[in-house]
Chains A and B, each alone.
Chain A
Amino acid sequence: MNNKIYLYVHIPFCYKKCPYCAFVSYEKRLSSLALYIKRLIDEIKDFKTSKVVQSIYFGGGTPSTLKIKHIESVLNAVYSNFTVDKNAEITFESNPVSLKIDYLKGLKSLGINRLSIGVQSFMDSKLKILGRLHDSQKAFKAVKNAQDTGFNNISIDLIYGLNETEKDMEFELKNACSLDVQHISTYMLSIEKGTLFEKLFKSGELTISNDEDTANLYLFISDYLKSAGYKHYEISNFAKGGFESNHNSAYWLGYDYRGFGVSASSFVDGIRFKNTDSLDNYINKKNYVVYEKQLDEIDKIKEAFVLLLRMKDGVEIEHFNKRYNTNIKKLYKNELDKFEKLDMIKEKNGHIFLNGAEAMVVSNAVLSEFI
């Protein structure tokens, strides 16, 4: 039925663990890199599909800890094992410190056509608190290098929620826009379990923006970027026309995706599974795949609906009903009534969607009633 697939490759290495980060990534394990790549290639080769690959995404961790030759061997495995669409989006996440001209040239020559750069902030004091290795000058330089190398689909990440004032945020966004990148992801800082930030936060050494301020920043960002010509196409993502990330959208749109490497999740032919979070287990091939409970029909519909609502355009009613053989307006009659009254959800031109940034910023309260 669906002939498309999206690939994800997880690179769980970082030069240094950031104090706020709860992603599966390891510091001080770079010596395992070569062996890890070998296992990745094994895993890629073990997976058979006739579906056509629409995108390849190197995420992390820090994929730019890889040498060009590592990336090459992984991509070769992909190309020799699957059919890859000739317009496939190939994204590479990177740390600004890695983006030297030579490295970028190497990436470009391998067919990588989209770069995601972990800028996080243009304020040096904030970058320090975030424990990042780069400063704002390096961030500017990295983007400039990428553009000079010919990358014309660049995304940068920004983090907020560290007591920024609106002025601070304006500064961040002005700089971001001045770079003329095609895509901007903005993440709210949250205190995650098991991180250093959690400890500091509990002991009172660290404070973060309160809900009220964070919400205001969220709305501010949305307004600012919209007027700068970016479309707020997903809860935390903005893009110039035509530059929405295909890959990330695949998750929200419910397409098949296959993740390789530590902690990667997959969803293939309706089956969901996830690789181990343990680098050692993965490398030693110790029962590293966990299959998740099959969702029954109704739960599948609910999940797809909720994921779609994260997108600006929301759910296209007719298309959705056909695809899932349902009647969404009947299924969710009470919920839709309730949230339409509260101005949180709107229906227009055959679409059901969250009513703008104000609704997005409280979206869990809405979505949790649809799941």
Chain B
Amino acid sequence: MKEKYIRNFSIIAHIDHGKSTLADRLIENTGGLSLREMKEQVLDSLEVERKHGITIKAQTARLEYTYKSEKYYLNMIDTPGHVDFGYEVSKSLKACEGCLLVVDATQGVEAQTIANAYLAIDNDLEIIPVINKIDLPSADIEKTKQEIEDGLGIDASDAIEISAKNNINIDKVLDSIIEKIPPPKGSIDKPLRALVIDSWYDNYRGVIFIIRVFDGQLKQNDKIMMYSTKKTYEAEELGIFTPKVKKVDLLTNGSVGYVVANIKNIQDAMVGDTLTLADNPTNKPFEGFAKPKPFVFAGIYPTDPENYEDLAEALEKLQLNDASLTVEKEKSDSLGFGFRCGFLGVLSMNITKERLEEEFGLDVIITNPSVLYKVEQTNGEIIELSNPSKLPPPQKIAAIYEPFVDIEIITPAEYVGNILKLLQEKRGRQQDLSYISQDRVLIKYSIPLVEIITDFYDKLKSLSRGYASFDYNFRDFEKSRLIKLIILVNSKEIDSFSMIVPKDKAYRTAREVLRNLKRFIPKQLFEIRLQAKIGGKIIAKEQISPLRKDVLAKCYGGDITRKRKLLEKQKRGKKKMKQLGSVEISKEAFIKLVEINN
């Protein structure tokens, strides 16, 4: 396959601007799948993706397209738009020479449009602007073009105006991919040099990984070597996704495909590694990807302690698929043995939980998400921790540093007032405020990370009727006045409920947390006392009075079955509970501790 007939491109955009729908049309228009095989966002194959209607994992597909009577092979990567999955975008871009930057004409340029466009520019990619959803009455094509030019500095004069949904101008997109995106460089005569861009674990076949070949070629049964470990394997099966799986015997320079090589150990096939031939290795390995740093941390525990090993194994498999996921063993007095996990954000945390439940059939408890703190002790030593219960006693703490992020919010001008107020409440510091078009404002703040991980997104959306979007980047650790808030249930400290909170907000938070907790603890056969403590002092209290009435005092003749079903239902309800000492607490409480409804 000659390089000049190959194009490698990604589709990037802000969340929901229509990447996966455009991918559908590209597949359909090039005959990758028959109409019968087609479904909406066909590349979103994970159960969690279909359920939420968002893309989480980048997906590849090779399309065949005839342009001026010549056949071309287009390797497409559909990427996620949500800020939590930015890493998927950046590694996908590493495998491409160009990208389609999709912008929703009804929304204009949004925060991840900017973030992802800059990633593409950083990688020297050819960017083809595509304006989508022109079928909608509220589409404003001119304004969108203006925003692309003003906000991104990209020439939008020949942006392609499409409707992915209604299949308008998709042929122009295909032509433009061939005309504008350069074919892959590299040489087929050089030693094999391929980049691992994705990998996952298949229960039957071991590790499967996706590579992009940058030099040379890979044949079936070749002896391959992973550059970082120097371990060698046999390439048992090669193939591509069309998006259907199709076996091939050869992956040549410039192509994208999968490799199965009977690798059982997940650590031996890390994304970003260089794959080469054992006999004739390259001497130009890739730099590898900077491992994405997790921002949000939480404990994951098996509800039933007996499932600890299963959880360990499941997390290990998910890690292969999600490079940002970090896992460390942890023990809690209240929840037993489990793991401290790091995630890119709360969405990816929730997705991880769902995948554990759905793909591995596990029942888990996730604790209240927190961030990584640096604690300077009085003896000068600095420790890092994300689990609030591990905070040293106050007399040993000289200072606590918390992560700050630079946050960029793009919003219609009319909501600026409300948003600034929210940012202020969240302990933010204004950095900049500028207009990116006549009525759209870019707000820059620095703000403690912890303030934006839970309810910030929802608040921002509701304050701006869904129009504001945000992106953030780690800034630095800063010293803050923070203290540990301890929660007691019937006088017993529940370590997994501990929190690190700003001193000035401690009272308010304590009251809110207890009120919130009350919703998650059903009445029980005895009174339950909830207390919040800082230092040695109780600062808030709540109580849950004992259950008074719970009886079937009715005569349903011989319908015993109905009675039994009622009790069984009640019993199933208990499964949603975690027993802490004698008190039953809804499992949700752990994660929703600070999710304050008002």
What is the interface of chain A, defined by CB distance below 8 A to chain B? 8, 10, 59, 185-188, 190, 211-212, 214-216, 218, 235-236, 248, 251, 257, 259, 264-267, 272, 274, 292, 303, 306-307, 338, 342, 344, 360-369, 371
Could you write out 13 A-B pairs with CB less than 8 Å apart? A186-B553, A216-B548, A236-B553, A236-B554, A257-B558, A264-B557, A264-B558, A267-B560, A274-B559, A363-B551, A365-B550, A371-B568, A371-B571
B551-593 residues with Cβ-Cβ distance < 8 A to A are: 551-555, 557-561, 563-564, 566-568, 570-571, 574, 582
B121: Cβ under 8 A from any A Cβ: no
Query: In the assembly, what is the distance between CA of A8 and CA of B560, in Å?
Result: 14
Of A186, A218, A264, A265, the residue contacting B561 (CB under 8 A) is A265
Closest 10 CB pairs of A and B: A368-B570, A215-B548, A265-B558, A211-B549, A215-B549, A236-B553, A364-B550, A188-B553, A371-B567, A368-B567
Majority DSSP secondary structure for residues of B touching A? loop
Query: In the assembly, what is the distance between CA of A344 and CA of B526, in Å?
Result: 11
Question: Closest Cβ of chain B: how far from A160's Cβ, in Å?
Answer: 9
In the complex, what residues of A have CB within 8 A of residue B563's CB? Answer: 307
Contacts A362-B525, A368-B567 supplied; 18 other A-B pairs, CB < 8 Å:
A8-B557, A214-B549, A216-B548, A218-B553, A236-B555, A251-B557, A259-B557, A265-B558, A272-B560, A303-B560, A363-B550, A364-B552, A364-B570, A367-B567, A369-B574, A371-B564, A371-B568, A371-B571
Question: Closest Cβ of chain B: how far from A362's Cβ, in Å?
Answer: 5
| A266:B560 contact, CB within 8 angstroms | no
Query: In the assembly, what is the distance between CA of A185 and CA of B547, in Å?
Result: 24
| B549:A265 contact, CB within 8 angstroms | no
Query: In the assembly, what is the distance between CA of A367 and CA of B524, in Å?
Result: 14
B512-564 residues with Cβ-Cβ distance < 8 A to A are: 524-526, 547-555, 557-561, 563-564
In the complex, what residues of A have CB within 8 A of residue B525's CB? Answer: 342, 344, 362, 365-366
| A187:B549 contact, CB within 8 angstroms | no
Question: Closest Cβ of chain A: how far from B155's Cβ, in Å?
Answer: 61
**In this complex, what residue of B is CB-closest to A251?**
B558
| B548:A362 contact, CB within 8 angstroms | yes
Given the known inter-chain contacts A344-B525, A362-B547, please indicate yes or no for A369 contacting B557, CB distance below 8 A: no
| B558:A187 contact, CB within 8 angstroms | no
Majority DSSP secondary structure for residues of A touching B? mixed
Query: In the assembly, what is the distance between CA of A10 and CA of B556, in Å?
Result: 12
**In this complex, what residue of B is CB-closest to A245?**
B555
Query: In the assembly, what is the distance between CA of A366 and CA of B574, in Å?
Result: 12
In the complex, what residues of A have CB within 8 A of residue B550's CB? Answer: 361-365
In the complex, what residues of B have CB within 8 A of residue A59's CB? Answer: 557
What is the interface of chain B, defined by CB distance below 8 A to chain A? 524-526, 547-555, 557-561, 563-564, 566-568, 570-571, 574, 582
Query: In the assembly, what is the distance between CA of A274 and CA of B552, in Å?
Result: 21
Of B547, B548, B564, B582, the residue contacting A303 (CB under 8 A) is B564
**In this complex, what residue of B is CB-closest to A302?**
B564
From B548, B553, B560, B564, residue with most partner A Cβ within 10 Å: B553
Query: In the assembly, what is the distance between CA of A342 and CA of B567, in Å?
Result: 20
Given the known inter-chain contacts A187-B555, A235-B552, A342-B525, please indicate yes or no for A274 contacting B561, CB distance below 8 A: yes
| A235:B561 contact, CB within 8 angstroms | no
| B551:A265 contact, CB within 8 angstroms | no
| B548:A265 contact, CB within 8 angstroms | no
| B558:A259 contact, CB within 8 angstroms | yes
**In this complex, what residue of A is CB-closest to B561?**
A292
In the complex, what residues of B have CB within 8 A of residue A264's CB? Answer: 557-558
**In this complex, what residue of B is CB-closest to A157?**
B555
| A265:B557 contact, CB within 8 angstroms | yes
Question: Closest Cβ of chain B: how far from A271's Cβ, in Å?
Answer: 12
In the complex, what residues of B have CB within 8 A of residue A8's CB? Answer: 557-558
Question: Closest Cβ of chain B: how far from A133's Cβ, in Å?
Answer: 21
Of B547, B551, B571, B574, the residue contacting A360 (CB under 8 A) is B551
Query: In the assembly, what is the distance between CA of A344 and CA of B547, in Å?
Result: 12
Query: In the assembly, what is the distance between CA of A218 and CA of B571, in Å?
Result: 24
In the complex, what residues of A have CB within 8 A of residue B553's CB? Answer: 186-188, 218, 235-236
| A362:B558 contact, CB within 8 angstroms | no
In the complex, what residues of B have CB within 8 A of residue A10's CB? Answer: 557
Question: Closest Cβ of chain B: how far from A338's Cβ, in Å?
Answer: 8
Query: In the assembly, what is the distance between CA of A338 and CA of B525, in Å?
Result: 11
Query: In the assembly, what is the distance between CA of A366 and CA of B551, in Å?
Result: 10
Query: In the assembly, what is the distance between CA of A251 and CA of B556, in Å?
Result: 10
Query: In the assembly, what is the distance between CA of A51 and CA of B553, in Å?
Result: 31
Question: Closest Cβ of chain B: how far from A276's Cβ, in Å?
Answer: 13
In the complex, what residues of A have CB within 8 A of residue B567's CB? Answer: 306, 364, 367-368, 371
Query: In the assembly, what is the distance between CA of A235 and CA of B550, in Å?
Result: 12
Given the known inter-chain contacts A265-B561, A365-B525, A369-B574, please indicate yes or no for A248 contacting B554, CB distance below 8 A: no
